[in-house]
A and B are shown apart, each in its own frame.
Chain A
Amino acid sequence: MKKFVYLTLCATIAAALSACSGGRDAGSTATTSGKASAAKHTTTLVIATVNNGDMIRMQKLTSDFTNTHPDIKLKWVTLQENVLRQRVTTDIATRGGQFDIITIGIYEVPIWAKRGWLKPLTFGADYDVSDLLPKIRAADTYQGKLYAAPFYGEGSMLMYRTDLLKKAGLTMPAQPSWNFVVKAAKKMTDKKDGVYGICLRGKAGWGENMALITSMANAFGARWFDMHWHPQFDTPQWKAALQTYVNVMKQAGPPGAASNGFNENLALFNAGHCAMWVDATVAASFISDPKQSTVAGHVGFAPAPNDGKGKTTGWLWAWNLAIPASSKKTADAQEFIAWATSKHYIDLVAAKDGWANVPPGTRTSLYDNPEYLKAAPFAKQTLDAIDGADTHHPTVQPVPYVGVQYAAIPEFQAIATTVGQDFSAALTGSVSVDQALRNAQAATEREMQRAGYYKKQ
């Protein structure tokens, strides 16, 4: 009996441990196949990405790449955006080497390139780097070198219901102002019918409400920092921007707007509850799709609103593919990135899923393609929105940072999330606009001093 118990225990632990060690072999990172004399090296690239429609489509189409590169295997790690950011940051900062290709935004590119966390990319002539949209290419470049290749890009614009605007007796100007948007929003609101004049992001987060409010502040002449990195929330420009945002949302926004982000507003718009919506250009394809949207036939597009000061509420974003410095498979990783961000890939998507589904906002040639322009009625507005955003000169007054709806400094994520919570509280009415701005100023001053940008005076 004693022997039986010991044997059982040993067998169980041995089975568990052998299963554990076997897991690693299931997808070897560099395995050899075939006979020893003619050993062919198979490389597995681990790609970290987000769960966006364009990224999922890329995963489905990778046989086009692996057929021409039989020695390269691809392993995908799909994570939620914030988890991916934290996961990849930990791995890169500690040089863990878990990923060979990572999906990062244009916020991370200059910061990580400066720290030496990314490998510069060099493509052959057939890749045609000069075809990349200049604003996106500039955002992915650090000190003259390209550190990431754009997979898809977006700006922001005003999307609206043409039928409701007509019913209200209004005409959308070629370049709407916030004055017009506020008036139109109030006029189109019909709360009894569940129609709200405007839907804007209210959910707290540096990539949620702060993307919109920072861009809106740019239009009102505000900026995050002066040239000496002093926070500027105590300026009249910030007050005008935030007051306009809170007022219009209280008067013409949907209930519970403080918990609405991109997806929530998308659902509201698709269900016919929003007359106007200022958000990412990528939304255009969703709200124009009759399979997803109940108002697909009544959608119009206009540039993001301005306030007559030379800047609009337009922002710029791109998801890019980059190679972490810790990867040991640079050449193969670059081969894959060149394929995934090439003109050939765009043609491949068009052939398989139609032109309306190609990843937008990366290449100039796409916007010269009549087939694409025909399939995507929002193409011109998307291109204009991207061209109109300038990451290096985002504000009316000069600033020491790069980025339109963000400031490309490592501290920004934490600071903007805190400020986003203050502004979200102003939207719910739990604090006043003045108090929210005072809180934002105090929190930002504290963090910037702590980070050593300037000393307390």
Chain B
Amino acid sequence: MARRTPVPRIVLTSVVAWTVGLVIFFPILWMLLTSFKTELAAFSASPSFLFFHWTTENYVAVWTRSNYLEYAWNSVVISLGSTLVALAIAVPAAWSMAFSPTRRTRGILMWMLSTKMLPPVGVLVPIYLLYRDAGLLDTQLGLVIVLCLSNLPIMVWLLFNYFKDIPRDILEAARMDGATIGKEIVYILAPMAVPGIASALLLNVILAWNEAFWSLNLTSSHAAPLTAFIASYASPEGLFWAKLSAASTMAIAPILVLGWFCQKQLVRGLTFGAVK
């Protein structure tokens, strides 16, 4: 018979969890509230939490001034495109390292991860020159490539950790039944790894959606995604917090909804193997 958790412990855990959750969520809530204030109220030295003059003028101003849908479409194409290409590369790479490891596998994994340790600005000029010569500046394809490459190590790691926990016996049984490597990946591994692949896919979409450095530096007018849309609302002279908050809310809304619906898969994929 399972032991009942003491009530004080449940209360304490709930209070701590809610507090941490609210602290993490507060900046987003504040941004949302600010987007409904006037510029003067948003910049007030003693800001009001709820009792202010609510207005939607910032959303109207942002919608009128900027072509939101063009930015949003670019974000969708770039984040989905880079994720799909990365997935096509990461699945076989992770399979190979999980089921046919060599003595260099661990080193290769560490090397892949180490590429994330270099600040992107360190390779900005070489990449910019390559893109200029290849005609990839300010194109969706250019961003798909760079975001695919920058998120690939994380994707391979996630999938590798997921794959290596799948029992080898099942794959061996398939081989004994005459399955080729392709069939093994498509019919045996993929169905079993759907939760892991889904969480890697979702995480990659979120990372690509929120990426700002390459988006701001490699695009100008045609392929600029929502991160560039947000950046266009900061001003050196004049009040801008309310409009910036409205633009930010509009930019994160789609990915927030996606994250909300997929949170189970995300948490499962990220914590898989953490507790055994």
Contacts and interface: CB of A to CB of B under 8 A. Distances in A.
Interface of A: 2, 5, 9, 12-13, 16-17, 19-24, 26-27, 46, 48, 50-53, 56, 59, 75-81, 83, 86-87, 90-91, 93-99, 194, 207, 262-264, 266-268, 270-271, 273, 280, 282-283, 286, 292
A94 B236 contact: no
A24 B77 contact: no
A197 B4 CA distance: 63
Given A21-B139, A21-B141, 14 more contacts: A23-B141, A24-B222, A50-B236, A53-B235, A53-B237, A56-B65, A81-B236, A94-B132, A96-B128, A97-B132, A266-B238, A270-B43, A273-B45, A280-B237
User: Which 6 A/B pairs are nearest by Cβ-Cβ distance?
Assistant: A80-B234, A78-B232, A267-B43, A20-B141, A23-B140, A20-B140
Nearest to A326: B132
Contacts of A9: 88
Contacts of B139: 20-21, 23-24
A27 B222 contact: yes
Contact of B40 (A5, A48, A90, A292): A292
B237 A90 contact: no
Contacts of A270: 40, 43
19 contacts: A13-B84, A16-B77, A16-B84, A16-B85, A20-B139, A26-B222, A27-B221, A46-B220, A51-B234, A51-B240, A79-B231, A80-B231, A86-B217, A94-B125, A94-B129, A263-B235, A266-B239, A267-B40, A292-B40
A17 B84 CA distance: 11
Interface string B38-69: 01100111000000000000000000010000
How big is chain B's contact interface, by range?
35 or more
Nearest to B139: A24
A96 B140 CA distance: 17
Given A13-B85, A19-B77, A94-B129, A79 B232 contact: yes
A51 B183 CA distance: 55
A267 B125 CA distance: 39
A337 to B, nearest CB: 18
Nearest to B135: A24
A20 B81 contact: yes
A457 B144 CA distance: 52
Nearest to B142: A20
A78 B219 CA distance: 12
A84 to B, nearest CB: 9
Nearest to A279: B237
Interface in B83-112: 84-85, 88
B143 to A, nearest CB: 8
A162 B228 CA distance: 42
B70 interface: yes
A147 to B, nearest CB: 22
B220 A77 contact: yes
Among A59, A96, A283, find the residue whose CB has the most chain B CB atoms closer than 10 A.
Answer: A96
A398 B239 CA distance: 38
A23 B239 contact: no
A19 B81 contact: yes
Contacts of B272: none
Given A77-B224, A83-B231, A271 B81 contact: no
B128 A90 contact: yes
B239 A19 contact: no
A46 B141 contact: no
B216 interface: yes
A87 B217 CA distance: 6
Among A9, A86, A98, find the residue whose CB has the most chain B CB atoms closer than 10 A.
Answer: A98
A20 B144 contact: yes
Contact of A16 (B80, B183, B236, B240): B80
B216 A79 contact: yes
Contacts of A267: 40, 43-45, 239
Given A51-B235, A271-B44, A23 B220 contact: no
B181 interface: no
Given A50-B235, A79-B216, A5 B141 contact: no
B124 interface: yes
Given A13-B84, A23-B74, A98-B138, A263 B238 contact: yes
B251 interface: no
Given A19-B77, A23-B140, A263 B239 contact: yes
Interface in B200-255: 216-217, 220-224, 228, 231-240
Contact of A13 (B88, B129, B220): B88
Given A90-B124, A98-B137, A76 B221 contact: yes
A46 B220 CA distance: 8
A441 B232 CA distance: 36
Interface in B119-155: 124-125, 128-129, 132, 137-141, 144
A2 B137 contact: no
Contacts of A81: 234, 236
A5 B81 contact: no
A271 B234 contact: no
Contacts of A280: 237
Contacts of B240: 51, 263
A79 B80 CA distance: 25
Contacts of A59: 65
B186 interface: yes
A283 B183 CA distance: 69
A426 B236 CA distance: 24
A16 to B, nearest CB: 4
Nearest to A75: B221
Among A22, A59, A266, A267, find the residue whose CB has the most chain B CB atoms closer than 10 A.
Answer: A267
Contacts of B221: 27, 46, 75-77
Nearest to A59: B65
A264 B228 CA distance: 24
Contact of B217 (A48, A51, A90): A90
A362 to B, nearest CB: 16
A48 B237 contact: no
Nearest to B187: A1
